[in-house]
Amino acid sequence: MGEVASRFLQTIRLERQAFVWMDFNDRATGDALVLVAITQVLMFAGFAGGLGSVFNIGLWDLLIGLVLSGLVQWLLYSAIAWAIVRYIVQASGQYATYLRFTGFAFPTTLITIAVAIVIGEAGLIPFIAGFAWFLAIIARGIEYESDLPAHRAWFVAIGALGGLLIVDAIFNFSPIT
């Protein structure tokens, strides 16, 4: 897990070396999956008021639903970003690599909870604060993987988030209502 933590730190610092490692290391997909699952468990802890109340049966259902929701969102976001690059921007890139850097970016969404706690409410401000860094990592990954200029990579990252929000609104993947 030491290498994963090291690569995660490189990722959040937007270092190219982390994206090269993700591109050539198949094991990084599993590491990304673990990061997504851990992020969702920490989200659960933030929403449920701490892990002390986990022994309630209903909370186990919520935890499992939140982890599965996060995994579906991870897969969908990566697919939407890859499809935008492939079919709209007409560039190349491997879906597996998109999965990896999206998974490594996922923990930055925990900023949403921190900002919501600081300002005392959930809403647009925590959402923007939580996803700004996520989008920066994704855009950097797209720049590397698909060899796109920064403005197109940002277009893809933001477009994929918009696509995910639309799909989420249609199917309501979130277990928290």
Measured between alpha carbons, how far is 95 from 160 in angstroms, rounded to an integer? 13
| Averaged confidence pLDDT in the chain | 86
> Which whole-number Å values give the CA distances from 170 to 94, 158, 173, 174, in the listed order?
27, 19, 9, 11
Stretch among 45-59, 92-106, 124-138 having the lowest mean pLDDT: 45-59
Indicate the pLDDT class of residue 103, thresholds 50, 70 and 90: very high
